[in-house]
Amino acid sequence: TKHYNVAVLAGDGIGPEVMAEAIKVLEVVADKFQFGLTLTPALVGGAALDATGEPLPDETLALCKNSDAILFGSVGGPKWTGLAPDKQPERGSLLPLRKTFDLFCNLRPGQIYPAFADLSPLHPRVSSLGMDVLCVRELTGGIYFGEKGRSEDAAFDTQRYSVAEISRIARVAFAAAQKRSKKVTSIDKANVLQTSILWRETVEQIAKEFPDVALEHMYIDNAAMQLIRSPQQFDVLLCDNLFGDILSDEIAAIAGSLGLLPSASLNGSGFGLYEPAGGSAPDIAGKGIANPIAQILSAALMLRYSFGEEAAAQAIEQAVQHCLEQHIVTRDINPKSTYGTAAVGAAIVATL
């Protein structure tokens, strides 16, 4: 039988409590769909800083290298703000993991679920039209990783993109669109940036490999506006690292349900890091009220993208959907709800 090794990096804040539910769910589906799983925990973020002085200790990195995927919780909190950038829990763990494993492709779906349209901060006349967007973000290039420097009275950052970097992320976006509504909106600032002109040209070339997918280009400023005015116009958004960072959070805000949004960060050989889109939410940590669904759906994405266990992934997604329909949700989704983290996790397990 197949066997998968998962590095489990729960992190800080609500990370450990939502991860506990995801682990229960994974164990149930492994049993049901007959594959083996070894889930090995390791320290990351603030918890790792406190224990070792590093947000991503060598030991954790070594575990990740010996695993088939990383299931990530969330990191950071007030205790660790004010540290130098390299030491910060979020940046100090996520950026080196992305670079080490060449996780060039970040997938962030964002939906307004019709039954939960009222969660969206958009007006009902907009949110009732729905939203079903997949943000495909380049994750290992651009201004994040270009040459940067600092003198006494000035600083600089460089955004650099190659045709190869743009091509590989564009192919992911077009292939994803083929399985969805067959439309890619490529985001750039080609009226100002040379990298954006190259981006646009390269995306045009790749589009020829996918004649059944419609392509449009949109400036980042206009996209920031259009997402609010009529998010239902979008299917797949293709973004560079910086623009994807901004728009994927804007999409999450529009969905209104951070606690439901998973994400996947993939490389070219099936390895990936899977994490909820929301943060460590230190204000509600330890209270047993955090929503475990984004973490559980992140585990489903891991089964799909890294292990090819599509049936197991779908089973989890259907169980989640079922609980949502039964209104078995935490209070971020329904303020009147009395279900906590463990109760929602247990309901999903029971459905499975």
Ligand X SMILES: CC(C)[C@H](C(=O)O)[C@@H](O)C(=O)O
- Residues identified as active-site: 144, 189, 221, 245, 249
Angle subtended at Cα 307 by Cα 305 and Cα 309, rounded to the nearest 5 degrees? 90
Q: Does 191 bind ligand X (CB under 6 A)?
A: yes
Partner interacting with residue 143 (select from ligand X, a second copy, none; CB below 5-8 Å by kind): a second copy
Q: Pairing between strand 148-150 and 105-112?
A: unpaired
Partner interacting with residue 7 (select from a second copy, ligand X, none; CB below 5-8 Å by kind): none
Q: Does 192 bind a second copy (CB under 8 A)?
A: yes
Q: Pairing between strand 272-276 and 262-266?
A: antiparallel
* Residues with Cβ within 8 Å of residue 325, at least 6 apart in sequence: 115
Among 219, 246, 250, 223, which Cα is nearest to 234's?
A: 223
Residue corresponding to tokens 């007030």: 78
Which residues, numbered 70-99, are part of the site for a second copy (CB under 8 A)? Answer: 85, 88, 90-91, 95
Q: Does 129 bind a second copy (CB under 8 A)?
A: no
Chain center to CA of 3: 24
From CA 19, how far away is CA 299, in angstroms rounded? 9
Q: Is 313 helix (H, G, I), strand (E, B) or coil?
A: helix
Q: Pairing between strand 214-219 and 183-188?
A: parallel
Q: Does 224 bind a second copy (CB under 8 A)?
A: yes
The site that binds ligand X (CB under 6 A) totals a number of residues, namely: 8
Which residues, numbered 255-284, are part of the site for a second copy (CB under 8 A)? Answer: none
Residue selected from 24, 87, 91, 160 as contacting ligand X according to rule CB under 6 A: 91
Residue 160's CB: how many other CB atoms inside 10 A?
Answer: 14
Chain center to CA of 274: 7
Q: Output 128 or 318, the one with its CB closest to a second copy.
A: 128
Q: Does 94 bind ligand X (CB under 6 A)?
A: yes
Q: Does 192 bind ligand X (CB under 6 A)?
A: yes
Residues interacting with ligand X, by CB under 6 A?
90-91, 94-95, 191-192, 221, 245
Residues interacting with a second copy, by CB under 8 A?
85, 88, 90-91, 95, 118, 120-124, 126-127, 143-144, 146, 148-150, 153-164, 189-195, 197-198, 220-222, 224-226, 228-229, 242, 245-250, 252-254
Which residue ranges make up the annotated binding site for NAD(+)? 77-90, 279-291
